[in-house]
Chain A
Amino acid sequence: MSIQPATDAAYSAPPLLAVEALSCERDERWLFRELDFMLSGGEILQIEGPNGSGKTTLLKILSGQFNDHEGEVYWRGQPVSRARGDFLASLLYLGHQPGIKGALTALENLAWYQALGGVVDRVAGVDSVNAPWAALAAVGLAGFEDVPAQQLSAGQQRRIALARLHLTPRALWVLDEPFTAIDIEGVAALEQLLLAHAERGGSVVMTTHHRFSDPSRLRRIQLGGNVDGQRPALDEESA
């Protein structure tokens, strides 16, 4: 797959997300120090590292949820703290917990997210009423729309959360272990979805131990093992 210029000028301009000298300390231990990287439209950034190396913390900092850190995160050249409204309107974050209510059906769960994200009239050629149905079908949950989520398996509940990727178009996806509890077929589909998002000019930051079958557009950051002030290795794999 060759890298094409992003379709939209706003997304090909300055890096979407830039991180400068980011350090975070937990329990008198540096999770990471002096982390610098940039992320432009069309890139997928994979954060790797052993358990407890601060991957989730880094994602929380990047998504503006966690302020107890040194250094600065920039969104389109502005500190996130100052461009918060614009940043949140472009962010889709999926955390460790899927954010799905067991007592509600898949459709009811998505309806809330659809309203919170602003009901988009047309997503990928589908109008706003049919969009949740289409999103659930796209993650392989056709036929489970009206089943309370607590009756679904863990993997299916994760898939409801993943349906949000189809439902709410956002430029930056921050995903914490998106491949957890997903079967082989679902993993391949999700990988395709992430690549399609990057192809459209969007960006993805995620933690996963999954190996992409198609490493184009993929960059990796290795966390952990950086003893006292050593910079973490930044391993650029893609063109």
Chain B
Amino acid sequence: MRREPLIPLAESNAASTGSLGAAMAATLTRDLRQALRRRSELINPLAFFALVITLFPLGISPDKALLATLAPGLVWVAALLATLLSLDGLFRQDFDDGSLEQLLLTPQPLPLLVLAKVVGHWLLTGLPLALMAPLLGVMLGLPSAAFGVLMASLALGSMSLSLIGAIGAALTVGLRRGGVLLSLIILPLYIPVLIFGAGAVQSAVAGLPSLPHLAILGAMLALALLLAPLAIAAGLRLSVNG
């Protein structure tokens, strides 16, 4: 190997904290790119979502009126469980291949890098779930007037679900079998999102204004955006320290 020209280290050091935006964008594109190359993992939560919803008319009753009253809750519960299913893998692979410790050792603020990862998770699960929901709504006889609210509530709510769920994923990443523990930690925190998410769709079905529900979902998202990255970062540090 040829010798490199000797460059003074201090000079390069000054530049090496770099730009935060570039680091966040790189983290996001890396996660997206890698997920798009392993499509089977990507499709898992979506397939689960579709299968569960398909089974309900068969298991309960094909009666359209009955299904339409149940539909908001069913779609929301299925979407919530699909998100939960996908969370275990959020940091697992990074933990196993050593890139998580590299992430923790960057001079960039960890909460923001972690936020980029969570946004990636949402783009790959929450957003597709929201886009897919009207199709499944048709299957459950949901009135088409409620489709817009269904998508909006899922899009808003699933981002909160990703953020809150990532806290649990960060805390359990060091455990070999963290799946059940993850659900136990996370499910109680999911309940408010579920109530207001399903509530928004229900009021749309009933012809009532759904904006208040959506506003509360938005407020929850704002709070989660502010606090969850800090908790996720702290959780990851704890996990790696063990």
**What's the dominant secondary structure at chain A's contact region?**
loop
Q: Is A100 an interface residue (CB 8 A)?
A: yes
Partner of A171, one of B6, B13, B38, B93: B13
Contact A93 B19 (CB under 8 A): no
Interface residues of A (CB under 8 A from B): 7-8, 10-11, 63-68, 85, 88-91, 93, 95-104, 108, 111-121, 123-125, 138, 148, 166, 168-171, 189, 192-193, 196, 199-202
Residue of A nearest to B22 (CB): A115
Chain B residues 1 to 54 lying within 8 A of chain A, measured CB to CB, are 1-10, 12-13, 15-19, 22-23, 25-27, 30, 33-34, 37-38
Q: Total A-B pairs in contact (CB under 8 Å)?
A: 148
Q: Chain A: which residue is nearest B102 at the CB level?
A: A99
Q: How far is the CA of A67 from the CA of B98 in the complex (A)?
A: 19
| Chain A residues closer than 8 Å to B12, beta-carbon distance | 120, 123, 169
B16 in contact with A108 (CB, 8 Å): no
Asked if B97 contacts A119 (CB within 8 A), the reply is: no
B5-A116 in contact (CB<8A) = no
- Please state if A118 and B16 are interface contacts (CB–CB under 8 Å): yes
**24 pairs from A and B in contact (CB 8 Å cutoff):** A8-B8, A8-B10, A66-B241, A85-B107, A88-B107, A89-B107, A93-B102, A97-B97, A97-B101, A98-B98, A100-B99, A103-B37, A104-B33, A111-B26, A113-B102, A115-B18, A116-B108, A138-B4, A166-B4, A170-B16, A193-B1, A196-B3, A200-B8, A201-B9
| A88 and B105 within 8 A (CB) | yes
Kindly report which residue of chain B lies nearest to residue A102, judged by CB atoms: B97
Do B3 and A7 touch across chains, with their CB atoms under 8 A apart? no
On whether the beta carbons of B3 and A192 are closer than 8 Å, the reply is: yes
State how many angstroms separate the Cβ of A162 from the closest Cβ of chain B. 11
Task: Note all chain A residues with C-beta closer than 8 A to B81.
Answer: none
A138 and B34 alpha carbons, distance in the complex (Å): 26
Partner of B98, one of A97, A192, A202: A97
Q: Say if the beta carbon of B187 comes within 8 Å of chain A.
A: no
B residues sitting closer than 8 Å to A (CB atoms) are 1-10, 12-13, 15-19, 22-23, 25-27, 30, 33-34, 37-38, 93, 96-99, 101-108, 113, 240-241
CB of B10 within 8 A of CB of A11, answer: yes
Other-chain residue from A67, A101, A166, A192 in contact with B34 (beta carbon distance below 8 A): A101
B6 with A200: CB separation less than 8 A = yes
Q: Do B18 and A119 have beta carbons less than 8 Å apart?
A: yes
A168 CB to nearest B CB, Å: 6
A-B pairs, 6 with minimum CB distance: A118-B18, A97-B98, A115-B26, A169-B12, A99-B98, A189-B1
Query: Given A100-B98, A118-B19, list of 7 further CB < 8 A pairs?
Result: A99-B99, A101-B99, A104-B33, A118-B22, A138-B1, A200-B6, A200-B8
Residues of A within 8 A of B34 (CB): 101, 103-104
A116-B15 CB under 8 A given contacts A11-B10, A192-B1, A200-B7: no
- Measured between beta carbons, the chain B residues less than 8 angstroms from A102 are 97
Tell whether A89 pairs with B98 under 8 Å between CB atoms, given A117-B18, A124-B4.
no
In the complex, which residue of chain A has the Cβ closest to the Cβ of B101? A95
A120 and B15 within 8 A (CB): yes
Residue in chain A with minimal CB distance to B20: A118
Name B106's contact: one of A116, A166, A171 (CB within 8 Å).
A116
Smallest CB gap from A121: residue in B: B15
Whether A116 pairs with B6 at a CB distance below 8 angstroms is: no
Partner of B17, one of A89, A115, A125, A193: A89
Most chain A CB within 10 A, of B8, B19, B105, B106, is at B105
Residues of B within 8 A of A65 (CB): 101, 104-105, 240-241
CB distance from A88 to the nearest CB of B (A): 4
Inter-subunit contact B19/A119 (CB<8 Å) = yes
Contact check, B30 vs A101: say whether CB atoms are below 8 A apart. yes
Inter-subunit contact A171/B107 (CB<8 Å)? no
Whole-angstrom distance between the alpha carbons of A64 and B104 in the complex?
A: 10
B30: contacting residue among A8, A63, A66, A112, CB under 8 A: A112
Given contacts A65-B101, A193-B1, A168 and B9 within 8 Å (CB-CB): no
The distance from the CB of A28 to the nearest CB of chain B, in whole angstroms, is: 17
Q: Whole-angstrom distance from the CB of B82 to the nearest CB of chain A?
A: 22
Contacts of A119 in B (CB 8 A): 18-19, 22
**Known: A11-B10, A99-B97. Is A108-B107 also a contact (CB below 8 A)?**
no
Inter-chain contacts of B15 with A (CB < 8 A): 118, 120-121
Contact B16 A89 (CB under 8 A): yes
